[in-house]
Structure 1
Amino acid sequence: MKKWILSASLVAGAVGLAGCGAGDDVVATSKAGDVTQQELYDSMKEKYSPQMEQALQEVMYKKVLSEKYEVSDKEVDKELKKAKEQLGPQYEAFLAQYNLDEKGFKDFLKLELLREKAALSDIKVTDKEVKEYYDKWQPPMKIRHILVEDEKKAKEVEDKLAKGEKFDALAKEYSSDPGSAQNGGDLGWVDSQSREQFVPEFSKALDTLKKGEISKPVKSDLGFHIIEITDMKEKKPFKDMKAELTKELKQSKADPETIQKKLDKELKAADVKVKDEDLKGAFGGSSDSDKKSDKEEK
């Protein structure tokens, strides 16, 4: 998800112009002269060419993929809920960081889902693979931690917790993790895939804890972690989870190169042609100029 959001931050200021089509309509007036859409568009291209190419990609992907794949409001809302669970109290700060409001975030999640549906449409998995994936699958859990530099300080925190002091207050006081300390150590909801972001010692410790249980200090290259699972979802029977896990397994097989090849294939099938010479590089090998080069070589 975050990979696409980083792209979104690049195009936030330019995507509107890329989608509307510049012309002679006046966007601003002064005694010195008017500024037209075309002048503004040309200025944006001159100063922000990479962002304009990125904006063109976003708009064209949405048009092309929407012709073949459908994403419902319900699917977008589900993805939004998942993002809020993962980000927890950092959600609003996350939106602010990428200059997005919730509507803009939902629009972008819809495009991400369109890309995902296109990328996964050609990937096949067997029932055996899905069952093996289910056997190893861990239910999402909501966790928090306190990270300190040395064992002595970890023992100090451990003793204070044993005496009944609040976990969140101690996280704010002691934790050296800048991403979670001021949120009481909260790391939000973590699923099987997102657990890969943690150091191995941290992830391994999660397997030993039950809901509401606080770990002993866990040593890693980052320091010493004190971890608590504050909530955990249920692992349902295989038949109830098969569809969801089939999708997750396909996602795990969709590497960036595979995804891009599929998107290029969809653009080629839609006969995408970039008419603006300054934006010819927006689609790489999918642009009409590249197609012409291929024909000339033949």
Structure 2
Amino acid sequence: MKSVRGRNPEKESMLKRKLKAEPLLILVGILLLCNVIWFIAWLIPNKMEQDGEKVASVGKVAITRGQWMTAMEKEVGREVLLDLVNENVMEAAAKKYKINVKDKEIDLELALIRSVDGLSYTDVDEEKVRKMIRSDLILEKVLTKDVVIKDKAIKSNYDENKSLYNLPTSYRTAIIVLPSKDEAEQALGELSGGSSFDVLAKERSVDVGSANLSGDIGYINDTTQSIDQAIVKTAAETKAGKVSGVIELEDGTFAIIRVSDIVKGRSFKFKEVSEHIRRELALEQLPESINPEAFWKEFDAKWFYGK
């Protein structure tokens, strides 16, 4: 028996609409492809134009963006890439060895570093500093995970060095040092008028070391021995974000102080620092210093500069 399918007007209507839409979709696809090709064609010469763009000149000799970028890569490119590779290697190590680094551990390390060396990390932003400390902690934890340190040794070390964990309030300080009171007062007037502290420190401060850092002398506190005590005292009396008046220093010069940050002092109890001490004692037992590059092969790390 021959079967005959009945007509379905609704399906026929849908098929007609589909057939009419297909050429339109093809046309849209072609236009989209043309736009992509045009964008790529535009991007390539634009990149070339950027490389050839003049960013400076000396007389009639132009310095192009391409020259500038190449010089920067040679100057700092290797170190920046090395940091990025090491950071990722340490993160891979943390995952493999189930290493956990808590924020409070980073806080402790940062506080201890600043109490010993006020200039540490002062030229690096906070987020970057914390990443660097995190990588260091991962490395230390991996290296010392199998080293056994007795609780008695940890407690003894804490008792002998308890003062190291009683941290005084510290002040992030910058200075402008000038040879006379008149010059210092003139500079103070300019600061009041809106002049940049950083610029004045670089241009006029006779303290060469801090002038090169826009006046920055890092975090200082009551225990800082290398700084004129008049500076320490004035910093303690200055609010964060404020500039002091003119003060006289021991050597007869005059200074203006700026405090940009204040870290409140605190005392760390044994429980808070016991793991830090254990790790420090364990590191002392290692035969040699080891850096993240020692783990590159284990985690198949490769980079632009070779093996």
TM-score (norm 2): 0.41
Q: Which has the higher helix share?
A: 1
Higher alpha-carbon Rg: 2
TM-score (norm 1): 0.41
